[in-house]
Every structure is written in structure tokens, then in C-alpha cells.
Amino acid sequence: MKRFRRYLVAGILVWLPLGVTLLLLRVIVGIMDRTLLWLPKQYQPEELLGFAIPGLGILLTILLLLVTGLLATNFVGSAFIGGWESLMERIPVVRSIYSAAKKFLEIIFSDSGSAFKKVLLIEYPRKGTYSLAFQTSAELGEVQSRTGEEVVSCFVPTTPNPTSGFIIIVPKKDITVLDMEVDEALKMIISLGVVVPEWRHDRIGELPLETPPDNDQPQ
């Protein structure tokens, strides 16, 4: 029975991840293929070829994103986008959602800044228990001034859905910067802590807030 169970579990570990991956890819491809419906019916591939080609919508989606980005970065497109955003800002409920989503995506896709670049370990929700977190900001203005110490804004994601969570303001001295990459931390969170990344001892983490030591003072 032990051997039977071992073989059964080994088979599950082979096929289940593959099945989940294929299912997610099918959902993503299916969503992107919906963009083909935006074309006039006589120009849709299924009408021209007589059969559907799965995944063709990916090309149209990429083309649409590229064209939108090209238009948004020139003078006319920038003026149009500015007018659109101004309109969105006038709608009471929509403006909060739109502005928050836009700022979040700007942070995620920005090459500059330190947001979501470091994996942190903080004592949360109480002293003596630890949670994984991501640094979102180290320039907190009024919060930093009123607390009288260096603090860091941390995002503590929930599991297994890391897109929701809590914003915690933590003193820098109470934060441990981990060596693991952001994607490794996300895997650990999504897997409920089952997938633990291997620790590479030759890597040392540092908070971006670290200030260089004063050469006049003894080390």
C-alpha cells in the first residue's frame, strides 16, 4: 500500500501541475481570442478561413497594445488620454478605482523606484510571529516626520490570493530584508508556504533606505 500510494502521489504531481497550467493558458488564450470579435464579421479569421485558429487573438491583443502605446506617447494621443483621465476623475466612484489602479500599475511596471523590488520579513500580526511583505515606499512624508524615525511602507499579501492584503507602516529597524526574489516569495505565498525557495547564502539583502557610513566615524 505504501508503494501504491507513492506511485499515485508521483503521478498526481506530474499531471496536476500540467493540467492546471494548460487550463490557465486556455483561459488566457480564450480571453485574448475575444478581441477578434471586435473586427467586422466579414474580416474575422473564422469567416475568412472557415475555421477558428486558437491563439490568433494574442497577436491582435499585442498589436492593439502597441498601437495604443504609440498613440499615447505622441502629442495628440497624450492630449486625448489627458482628456479621458480628466473625465474619469469627475465620476465619483469610478475616479477612486481608476486612479488607484493606474497608480498601482505605474508602480509595478516602472523601471525606477523601489516598490515591490524587495521581500521583507516583519513581525505581524503580533510580536513573535512573522509575515512576508513587499516594500512599497520608503518616502512617507508626514508619517515619517510624525513618527520621528525611519519607517517603511510594507504590503502584506494574503494567501493564496496575493492581490489583496494590508498596508503596514513598520520602523526600518524592525525589518529584515530577505535574499529571495519577488517571484519566489509569491510562489511561497500562493502555495500556502509549501513551496519554499532555496536560500542562496552568497546573496545579502539591503534596504534601499541604507545610508552610507560616515567615514569620520569608526566602523
Mean pLDDT of 130-148: 87
pLDDT tens-digit series, residues 51-70: 777 777 888 888 888 888 88
pLDDT at 218: 44
The average confidence (pLDDT) of the chain is 80
- Global pTM exceeds 0.85: no
DSSP E strands in the chain: the ranges are 119-123, 130-137, 151-157, 165-171, 176-177
**Residue 19: exposure state from Cβ atoms within 10 A (0-12, 13-18, ≥19):** exposed
Whose cell is 508626514? That residue is: 142
pLDDT at 119: 92
Q: Are 107 and 136 in contact (CB under 8 A)?
A: yes
Domain boundaries, the chain: 25-109, 119-190
User: What pairs with residue 152 in β-bridges?
Assistant: 170
pLDDT at 214: 46
pLDDT tens-digit series, residues 169-219: 999 999 999 989 888 998 898 888 888 888 866 554 444 444 444 444 444
Helix (H, G, I), strand (E, B) or coil at 196: coil
Report the percentage of the chain scoring pLDDT > 70: 86
